[in-house]
Amino acid sequence: MEELSHWIDGARVAGTSGRFADVYNPATGEVQARVPLASQAEMDDAVARAAKAQLAWGATNPQKRARVMMAAVGLINRDMDKLAEKLSSEHGKTFVDAKGDVQRGLEVIEYCIGAPQLLKGEYTDSAGPGIDMYSMRQPLGVVAGITPFNFPAMIPLWKMGPALACGNAMILKPSERDPSVPLMLAEIFKEAGLPDGVLQVVHGDKDAVDAILDNDTVQAVGFVGSTPIAQYIYARGCANGKRVQCFGGAKNHMIIMPDADMDQAADALIGAGYGAAGERCMAVSVAVPVGDGTADALRDRLVPKIEALKVGPWTAGDDVDYGPVVTAAAKDNILRLVETGVDQGAELVVDGRDFSLQGYENGFFVGPHLFDHVTTEMDIYRQEIFGPVLSMVRANSYDDAIGMAMDHEYGNGTAIFTRDGDTARDFAHRINIGMVGINVPIPVPLAYHTFGGWKKSGFGDLNQHGPDAFKFYTRTKTVTSRWPSGIKEGAAFNFKAMD
């Protein structure tokens, strides 16, 4: 059995805490590796080493840092298949989906090649007699990223790229469920020219997270995961004086208007609801057709498509639509919520509870489910299921439909399918949700825009990637400069001295 390691000062380093977590093959249910769980002392040591390395890296000019990003892009493309295979083996998602995971992270690294432009400050000539004023963006120092299991390449790259391009050192604490890809990415960045110690990958559980939050040297923390943990990290990090951005759970609604292309809407729901076994924070888990006629037409199209979905291991290649969920506990929680939906009166139209795959009976596979006549009081509507379960909630009108999405505690993503431009424009302007799709089911912004939810889906003032990331990982210093030539005699006692 493989025993994984931390990445400290540019090398793989064995853990010393004596504590480990099992890493499973989700398709077979077998343990394939062990990952060390860092103690507070190990985390503190990694942070101290990062702080030393950051001094020279922060003083490196942005163009040279951007060249490291440029080299990393080439190396990640070179190793794309290798990264995707390892990702699939630990997470369970299909090979194509795993490559997409890497690719969407890679796009942020490509954006970071523009760091010299993105880090430029402002300048005012002759703000007063002989006085110039300018601002500069400077790195924070040591920052940390705490990333989730469902995107073990994309989210670490979203954190690493901007943080490093801005001149910080980063402590990455990836999910212990699929930890190998972040280690591989650290090796790639070293090969790309990143100095040793600037990126540390330290595995761990709550002890490691608390060590990050309580370490005075760590200036900022970025997190993606569930809302309860996001709230915990945000509160504790802010209490310790850190800059914190946390992204939590979701319950993404897709509204289907009577004028929508029903075939297009059904296809969109299949990909958005069941892709990656529903383990996406931007997955559509609630379909809201407006009017019973719309609901019946949509259901008639959905059922045969759902029943035709192919579930299996990533090694089956193109013959698989989605794979297993990440752990046995995740599978149990999904099936528990499905039972709750049945008990509370929802109609289980497609029942995947008894799904079993020959030869993979011990794998963490969950069959596809479709509920109809779900109400807003039911647990399957209120809670994030994070599995291949789609709920249909019938709305009497557009206002009823938009009200459901606006009243839900989560506000990550939403979508509307319609042919009417007025309705689409009204939806985009009124909805209190961070990312909006119009005839686009999963509206994940590209790297040069920002990603972030509202309400209990996001905590903090700035979003991930795009311009917000460069603001989050730097602080602004403003300089007012006057040189001796032309200075008037006499002391000044008021703020009008520069006039």
The CATH number that applies at residue 267 is 3.40.309.10
**pLDDT of 130:** 87
Same domain, 218 and 334: no
CB count within 10 Å of CB 383 equals 15
Query: If we measure between CA atoms, which residue out of 424, 473, 431 comes closest to residue 454?
Result: 431
CB count within 10 Å of CB 73 equals 19
Mean pLDDT of the chain: 96
**pLDDT of 422:** 97
Give the mean model confidence (pLDDT) for residues 204-220.
98
Judge whether 431 lies within some domain: yes
Judge whether 185 lies within some domain: yes
Judge whether 207 lies within some domain: yes
Same domain, 21 and 36: yes
Q: What is the percent of the chain with per-residue pLDDT over 90, rounded to a whole number?
A: 95
Same domain, 285 and 191: no
460: left (phi over 0), alpha (psi -120 to 50) or beta: left
Could you say which of 112, 166, 246, 281 is catalytic? 281
246 a catalytic residue: no
Same domain, 264 and 390: yes
Judge whether 13 lies within some domain: yes
Judge whether 499 lies within some domain: no
Residue 493 pLDDT level (bands cut at 50, 70, 90): low
Residue 484 pLDDT level (bands cut at 50, 70, 90): confident
CATH code at position 163? 3.40.605.10
Angle at Cα 489 formed by Cα 486 and Cα 490, nearest 5°? 140
Same domain, 230 and 266: no
Q: By residue range, what is the domain housing residue 152?
A: 2-248+457-479
Judge whether 373 lies within some domain: yes
**pLDDT of 483:** 87
Q: How many domains does the chain have?
A: 2
Same domain, 109 and 143: yes
Q: pTM (2 decimals)?
A: 0.94
Judge whether 175 lies within some domain: yes
Same domain, 268 and 229: no
Same domain, 330 and 241: no
CB 18 within 8 A of CB 37: no
Same domain, 265 and 399: yes
Q: Which residue has the tokens 């504790």?
A: 236
- Final residue of a domain: which of 438, 466, 490? 438
Same domain, 230 and 276: no
